[in-house]
Chain A
């Protein structure tokens, strides 16, 4: 018979071995060797912390009590694993892309980095986890006691052994679980140790199983007969319990903090899931393969009162196989230790990130004012948390005395932690899930779980018998195990059904009714569409030079050299010359994720918020951005308009410039024209006066002729100068109009008589005098001047044999129009644009005019508010004089 001392020695040896494995793995990981540490096999084996001492011992106990029902606990996770393609794969991807550190961090991160939610999940996990840890301590103690009973020395004391076990486990978790801060750096030591333990427990259970089947029962066939002959030999399960437990174990498999730790946080490579998808179900199958045989043989061979939970130990012991019993003990011990270590680690991460750090941040408002290293504070918080959690487990064990059946405590813990499921699944697959919904659902589920399962299970001290039987205050439909008056359901099924379904309903309804914050909506899109974009949203807008503050803070969390490396890398990436990177949104988002790997999403968010000034993204910001772009658009359209206006102005300026140049040229040509025009008569005056002066014996007739020429030329000069003066006066607008009243007819009468007076040339003027009875109020002399000019032009230039000038007056569109049309050949088309210009003469110098007449006419008509134009296509030269009638009416 193995003595207790040997047992303790073996235990210690085993623990030392584990320490060694963990230490070596950590060293190898640091040295960069040991690729196998990150192999799918290690990952799969590490998942086996699902199989705790509860399943190691309790499964056999459960099988001995209720047959195949135990297998549900393994079937749930199997279903989860084979649905990895749309379930776990997404969870792992989200966990990796968001650098999630725990299940509480996942929910907090999904629902807008809400710390309230994280605290709720943490509390739930601690309350659910403590009995579970107590359960492991209890199983170790029970297994010790089996050996102690057989040990004659009687040195064994239950209380102290539990204490030392708890202390040892806490020590291990602290040593290897809180070495590095960044949870995403992964705890290779712990994971490898767990993998070793999983092999040990599987080996132990299979060894006992093989011994039982082939050593005791005598082979596979006899074993099957023996099973059918036993008291559990018929297929008999409660349908409710069967389905509920499959669901519950599946839910707990993804919700348990320790499972989340190994499955998501410690995951190195998403591809490992592919292997784990078949390998882990296989592991579970092997773990459960021999459970029924061991239970059946135990029921057969052991006395009535023996604890079926310990058949794995007692069956080999009763057969005198001390070595096998020892191995089995080590297996159970392994299951318990690995579970406790990982749970403590996971819970401590949650407690330090979501409870301790926020409190610390609140008490130290400005990061810059706090001396010391945040790293040490976080690590210390984790160490203390581990110790505290282990202490809680120890006290729970001491207080409860460890009476209840192992399996039931485990299931209670399962159903408690499963309350996270609706919020988690909703968060991963439904963008409409909100923080309010998650909080409400979680609260309802949690309260119902406590009320219907936890308190009734803890005994009369916590829930009086009367409440259980009659409901609180005698309200029958509130009886904890028969809510709404529905009786007769298994208490476990009843609790799970009500808590999970009401949790889900409240979660959905509250989500539908509430409106998520902008950050929640961003994170929701990130989570649900994780396969479309694994990049975090750029939530920060760092504007001021806060890089130094950020650097200081990062150093305190990540340590000096990693932080400096990070910042240097970023600065190089940005291509700046300064050693500190600019706080661009992209950099801040990366930094936040880097930090969240150490202290959790909510804390990292809060810490960056403290420095950058809470300038995280909001819908208002998004709207502002949209607004800004609208403003930009508007601004650019304004610019466009302005530039168009500028180009218009430039064009106008160009035109004006061209006009000015043209005018200057015109002036030059005008001057040369004028001098030329003046020079011609001056030359003849000079010539004839010289002749008269120098020539002797000029006849009187000749003298008279020459004097007449000189006189004519002088007159022509005077007329020219008069015209020029007239034109310049008109052009300068200095002319004063002498307004007078008369009819068009009399003006024309006067004009014709003065134009045709003293000439021998015949010009027939045709008029329709009836239409000329139009009253006029204008400068009659100036208008007459225009008419005279036109009539005399016709007289001078009309080349018809019998020149006829037709004068007609009409009222065209509110304008008085007087047309002067002769029957000559008219003005050639190419000259028409020129005739109103100064010194423009058509057809050479025939008539001897200065070419100013029509120019003067045009100026006069412009002054009078009218115009004079050439009318083409009238069969001869045709001019149209137009005067506004409104002018006349205004005068009336």
Chain B
């Protein structure tokens, strides 16, 4: 009785099992990467603050290099986000709950 109840619950997905099959596992880690992306972005965009100042001995970083760096980061983030959007659409990550099983 109790065991059949437990199976029911798992199949309904109310209480996801602790471990997942390979595909679902990939899907979850994909969702993790989507969560981590803004932190990566934040770190990349704060990094230029460590660059030498214009008043420093090296004369600072030329603005064109800064523009290159910022826009490269920007494009990188967009591409990762685009990739995730496509994969998410294909594998239906949207349907999963916010829970974090592994």
Contacts and interface: CB of A to CB of B under 8 A. Distances in A.
A235 B66 contact: yes
Interface in B33-55: 34-35, 37-38, 41-42, 45-46, 48-49, 51, 53-54
Q: Determine the interface band of chain B, counting residues with CB < 8 A from chain A.
A: 35 or more
A242 B45 CA distance: 9
B81 A233 contact: no
Contacts of A228: 62-64
A270 interface: yes
Given A67-B63, A242-B49, A234 B54 contact: yes
Given A79-B38, A81-B81, A235 B59 contact: no
Given A71-B70, A271-B94, A235 B78 contact: no
B45 A234 contact: no
Interface in B2-38: 31, 34-35, 37-38
B1 interface: no
B61 interface: yes
A817 B45 CA distance: 109
B63 A274 contact: no
A78 B41 contact: yes
B75 interface: yes
Q: Determine the interface band of chain A, counting residues with CB < 8 A from chain B.
A: 35 or more
A131 to B, nearest CB: 28
A85 to B, nearest CB: 4
A81 B67 CA distance: 21
Nearest to A529: B98
Interface in A70-85: 71, 75, 78-83, 85
Interface string B66-77: 110011001101
B62 A78 contact: no
Nearest to B64: A224
Given A82-B41, A236-B60, A532-B97, A281 B48 contact: no
A16 interface: no
Contacts of B65: 235
A78 B77 contact: yes
B42 A79 contact: yes
A457 B14 CA distance: 55
A80 B42 CA distance: 10
A623 interface: no
A852 interface: no
B66 A85 contact: no
A292 B63 contact: yes
Given A78-B74, A243-B49, A281-B78, A85 B85 contact: no
A670 interface: no
A603 B89 CA distance: 38
A227 B67 contact: yes
B49 A289 contact: no
A278 interface: yes
Contact of B62 (A75, A233, A246, A278): A233
A82 B38 contact: yes
Contacts of A242: 46, 48-49
Contact of B63 (A75, A233, A278): A233
Interface of B: 31, 34-35, 37-38, 41-42, 45-46, 48-49, 51, 53-54, 59-67, 70-71, 74-75, 77-82, 84-85, 88-89, 94, 97-98
7 contacts: A67-B63, A68-B66, A230-B63, A234-B60, A235-B61, A271-B89, A277-B84
